[in-house]
Structure 1
Amino acid sequence: MKLDCYKIYDVAPEIVPGRSNRDWMDAFPDRQPYRCLPLSMANSTGWEILCPIDLNISWNGGPGKSDIQFTTKSDPRAIASFADSHFQRGIVTFHAGHLFQTEPGWGLWTMGAPNHFKDGIAPLSGLVETDWLPFPFTMNWQMTRPGSVVFKKGEPFCFIMPMQHKLLEDIEPERKLLSSNPQLESDFKNWATSRQNFNDKLVAGDPESRKAGWQRHYMRGETTTGDAAEAHQTKRRLKPPRDV
């Protein structure tokens, strides 16, 4: 599977594999959010496109193009090729600097980096048919209120994840009572009982439970009865783009 990243000009924003760490996760005592494996796996399931400059964005709340102002501590001439207010109404448009091509049937889900929050501005997600598209897409963010936000150099402004989106139309969701699957219901009840017992011991100050801190069934890829999952990952190791 190839993901072709064509630089439109000689200089383009850097693209790196998604990083699992987040500042807000690091700030928790004992880095508790990293116990939630789905969080860190989501953070690293895709590629980040990084800001090439520090960029300050100010919006006065107005609907026009001139109501958004961009400044930088870097060369101000770099702003025009990177960010503007093309759609107006508080929307900031970033230029990824690349034209992406994927294999037939594959597209790119474009969004902000998962679980990476910015106060005052929110990323707009898109699904791009990059298996035929001969021109680049833009990454857009919506200012959520008048004020200023800063994107630091090296901070992700776009996150891309290839997906075979057309296969989704072949999926047939079915809702069932859990009792219709006796084995799954039994496994669920075992988990629920184990979870409640562990939490009760934590509240009661049980030394062993407090030392353990949390149950690690999902992290280890096993059920409460010790049955191991056939396929389980705790880290995502994506390849960085290479220049050819």
Structure 2
Amino acid sequence: MKIKALPLYHQAVAIEPTPTERTWAVPNEAISANLALSSVGGLGWDLLCPYAVEITWNGGPNPEDIDIRLDRPTDDAPAFVQSYLGQGLLTFYPGYQLQIEGPNSLWLRGPINRPKDGLSPLEQIVDTSLLPATISLAWQLTRPDKTIRFDAGEPFGTLVPYPTHFAEQFEWE
């Protein structure tokens, strides 16, 4: 099966396979040996920040209540992160339309097992099997007046193939 990534502009973010090992887990043998935690290593593909970004939310309900500072070149590259919804929501734009083969969808989520203090990823399942879909990833800021930083090359999202209507096939007993 294939996933097609159609860049919308030449500054679309890098997509790389999710690493099999988490640097925060390596020093702790008990965590590294935990099969349930390590089984998700290498699952999906990470979307990487093209440049560093710092975000501070003042706790207000308006889009302009989030201060976004980009460490980017002075070219015509569109901002890959914006605030336009309000309520402390931050939206990342990878710069792709995606399409997946077969009866599958894409699970768009935060980086797997990489928590970030002060915000939480909002997950989505997008059916891209019939038509390519332009994707975005949303994060909910949770701590007013805390500055959060994503470094250049740090993942801000993960794409995971997911069978369409998968959960509906199950019943609780």
Whole-Å Cα distance in 1 between the matches of residues 76 and 160 of structure 2?
27
- Partner residue of 1:135? 133
Whole-Å Cα distance in 1 between the matches of residues 75 and 140 of structure 2?
23
Task: Choose from 53, 56, 70 the match for 1:55.
Answer: 53
Where does structure 1 differ by over 4 angstroms across 4 or more consecutive aligned residues? 76-80
Which amino acid counterpart does residue 153 of structure 2 have in structure 1? G
65 and 80 in structure 1: CA distance in 2 versus 1, 3 angstrom threshold: farther
Give the number of the structure whose residues are more often strand, by fraction.
2
- Partner residue of 2:2? 2
Which amino acid counterpart does residue 148 of structure 1 have in structure 2? T
Give the deviation of 1:76 after TM superposition. Answer: 5.9
- Partner residue of 1:108? 106
- Partner residue of 1:169? 168
Whole-Å Cα distance in 2 between the matches of residues 44 and 64 of structure 1?
37
TM-score for the superposition, normalised by structure 1: 0.66
Which amino acid counterpart does residue 89 of structure 2 have in structure 1? I
Matched, 1:20 2:15: no
Q: Which moved more, 1:54-63 or 1:17-26?
A: 17-26
CA offsets, 1:122-150, max 9 Å, x none? 10100001112443121000100112100
Give the deviation of 1:24 after TM superposition. Answer: 2.3
Whole-Å Cα distance in 2 between the matches of residues 136 and 26 of structure 1?
36
172 and 65 in structure 1: CA distance in 2 versus 1, 3 angstrom threshold: closer
Determine if contact 1:70/1:79 at 8 Å carries over to the other structure: no
CA offsets, 1:94-143, max 9 Å, x none? 00111110113100011011110100011010000111244312100010
Matches within 5 A, 1:41-80: 41-75=39-73, 80=78
Give the number of the structure whose residues are more often helix, by fraction.
1
SS at match of 2:72: coil
Whole-Å Cα distance in 1 between the matches of residues 158 and 138 of structure 2?
12
> Alignment RMSD, CA only?
1.8
Gaps of 5+ in 2: none
Determine if contact 2:118/2:142 at 8 Å carries over to the other structure: yes
Give the deviation of 1:12 after TM superposition. Answer: 1.2
Determine what percentage of the aligned residue pairs are the same residue: 34
SS at match of 1:158: strand
Which amino acid counterpart does residue 14 of structure 2 have in structure 1? E
Determine if contact 2:99/2:129 at 8 Å carries over to the other structure: yes
Whole-Å Cα distance in 2 between the matches of residues 120 and 47 of structure 1?
24
Which amino acid counterpart does residue 141 of structure 1 have in structure 2? W
Whole-Å Cα distance in 1 between the matches of residues 43 and 27 of structure 2?
22
